[in-house]
């Protein structure tokens, strides 16, 4: 059943050109990881470059939306860690300890997300709702028709 859109809530719409970058980013990332799993070194390293570049572009494009900025910074850190790990496995498999250095960018990414959520929690006014908290269904915002169950 279709719910009506609550026009009083803030909405973030992604422009089509940004969405294309995000979709291509996913394609490159999947090819990179598949290449890693299949030990296709040239393709994996080649796909790492556009994956990282698109991540940086997406982060820049969405920098004015605070939640997008911090989450995209975390994704960029994840890709850096992931790419470093892949390259280490491809070219220096005997130096297994190098993969532990991926904890640095992984941790930085995690810190971006933790900082974002803690700062959101601390800056939130009592009684306000965040995007993570769905609006409670009430008779005012619930669609009404003969098939709708009664509101309790």
Total structural domains within the chain: 1
User: Are 95 and 88 in contact, with CB atoms under 8 Å apart?
Assistant: yes
Cα-based distances in Å from 2 to 49, 142, 152: 41, 10, 20
Query: What is the residue range of 108's domain?
Result: 16-123
Q: Is 9 within a domain?
A: no
How many CB atoms are closer than 10 A to CB 24?
A: 15
Per-residue pLDDT of the chain (152 residues; tens, 9 = 90+): 566 666 566 776 777 878 888 999 999 999 999 999 999 999 999 999 999 999 999 999 999 999 999 999 999 999 999 999 999 999 999 999 999 999 999 999 999 999 999 999 999 876 555 555 544 444 444 444 444 444 44
Cα-based distances in Å from 135 to 45, 60, 141: 45, 31, 9
Q: Is 7 within a domain?
A: no
User: Are 55 and 22 in contact, with CB atoms under 8 Å apart?
Assistant: no
Q: Is 99 within a domain?
A: yes
d(Cα 50, Cα 125) in Å, to the nearest integer? 41
């Amino acid at each position: 059943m279709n719910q009506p859109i609550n026009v009083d809530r803030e909405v973030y719409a992604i422009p089509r050109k940004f969405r294309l970058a995000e979709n291509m980013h996913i394609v490159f990332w999947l090819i990179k990881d598949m290449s890693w799993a299949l030990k296709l070194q040239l393709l994996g390293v080649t796909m790492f470059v556009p994956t990282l570049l698109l991540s940086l572009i997406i982060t820049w494009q969405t920098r004015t939306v605070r939640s997008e900025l911090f989450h995209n910074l975390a994704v960029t850190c994840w890709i850096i860690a992931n790419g470093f790990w892949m390259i280490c496995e491809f070219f220096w498999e005997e130096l297994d300890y190098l993969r532990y250095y991926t904890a640095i960018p992984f941790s930085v990414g995690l810190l971006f997300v933790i900082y974002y959520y803690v700062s959101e929690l601390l800056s939130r006014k009592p009684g306000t709702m965040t995007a993570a908290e769905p609006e409670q269904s009430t008779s005012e915002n619930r669609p009404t028709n003969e098939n709708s169950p009664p509101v309790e």
